[in-house]
Amino acid sequence: MRICFDQISLAEVSTSMTINAPAAILLLLYELVGEEQGVPSKELRGTVQNDVLKEYISRGTTSTRPSRRCADHRYLRLLRRERPEVEHDLDQRVHMREKGCSAVQEVAFTLANAIAYVEGGIAAGLDVNKFGQRLAFFFNGHNNVFQEIAKFRAVRRMWAKIMRDRFGATDEKAQMIRFHTQTGGSPFRPSSRR
């Protein structure tokens, strides 16, 4: 990791670590580089992906019980307390959509997994108004632009309602869905253009 950030000041950049199971280890290595550069961990900025349920659903690479331990809420608590500028990317649906699920299924899996993570965070004593503000999502964008716009508008409204009505989030920022969109590759495959 030291080589990756040679001559790049971690005080001046925000780094997205798009990885799942080793997320906590990668964050520790990132902190060590920051420490060598004299940047306190509380000042590090970026996003750490930790959606191990997605790994199980879309790739079958882990089992659910160990996966949930990897996404342990002690890790979430640590992020919130020690690294307030680091986002926590819980839901990454690009792989599911690329595996063939529809836009509707992409939203359904996203919300189902996000609900499980938020329930776990609340059960662990985290304040939904605090950690809800730092959740980030990752969606796939396909060719049907109107369908994708409708998907984003629908998931935005559903997430706000879930956070407000189901989990009691009163802070508007905790009710907002913050997401990144990645261009889907599957619509460009020859078999999908028929």
CA–CA distance, 52 with 117 (Å, rounded to integer): 10
Q: Which residues contact 94 (CB under 8 A, 6 or more apart)?
A: 138, 139, 140, 182, 184
Q: Give the model's pLDDT for residue 126.
A: 83
Strand pairing of 14-17 and 179-183? unpaired
Map residue 38 onto helix, strand or coil: coil
pTM: 0.67
Residue tagged 């992409």 (tokens): 106
Mean pLDDT by 10 residues, the chain (194 residues): 83 79 77 90 77 62 54 52 54 68 88 85 85 83 89 96 98 92 68 50
User: What amino acid is encoded at 179 in this protein?
Assistant: F
Q: Give the model's pLDDT for residue 129.
A: 93
